[in-house]
Copies of this chain bind each other. A is one copy, B any other.
Amino acid sequence: MKWTVYLSGEIHTDWRQRIIQGATEHGLDIEFTSAVTEHEASDAAGDVLGKDENAFWRDHKSSKVNSIRTKNLIQKCDIAIIRFGDKYKQWNAAFDAGCCAALGKPYITLHADDIIHPLKEVDAAAMAWAQTPEQVVELLKYTING
């Protein structure tokens, strides 16, 4: 049985690579999916349709284009990993967590312990809170291989 794991959130550190590499080393049969993680490409996703001067509409157009991908991938995943780093607002990660919760998709949060309190609602609906990508790999290995 192949598993599909969606990796949501922060794009400035190598957490995705570390999880994917760890899973590969353990031979886990996982297809990892993700939003487009190149910041500039993501912000410009709608520009092919005509670039808006207005900042709100440019963002709006690009975000809706991005959602074609993310909505599909979240609906198809078996597990999501929701990552919060130490910078930026990362509301999109919390939004993805809310989608997963409402869809009944189990998710694991990945964040440092200094943001436990503001993430308490997101963590409360999670199946686990991990602090390192290596812990996530262990959880995936246990989930898939037992």
Which A positions have Cβ atoms within 8 angstroms of B? 1, 3, 31, 33, 36-38, 41, 45-46, 48-49, 52, 54-57, 59-69, 71-72, 75-76, 78-79, 84, 88-104, 106, 108, 113, 115-125, 127-131, 135, 138-139, 142-144, 146
Contact = CB atoms under 8 A, between A and B. Distances in A.
B31 A1 contact: yes
Contacts of A84: 91
Nearest to A47: B138
Contact of A54 (B57, B62, B101, B142): B57
Contacts of A142: 36, 41, 45, 48, 65, 69
Contact of A68 (B116, B128, B129): B128
A127 B64 contact: yes
Contacts of A117: 55, 59
Contacts of A129: 49, 56
A124 B33 contact: no
Given A41-B142, A63-B120, A75-B104, 13 more contacts: A41-B146, A48-B135, A52-B54, A52-B57, A63-B124, A65-B139, A68-B139, A72-B79, A84-B91, A89-B115, A91-B94, A91-B122, A92-B121
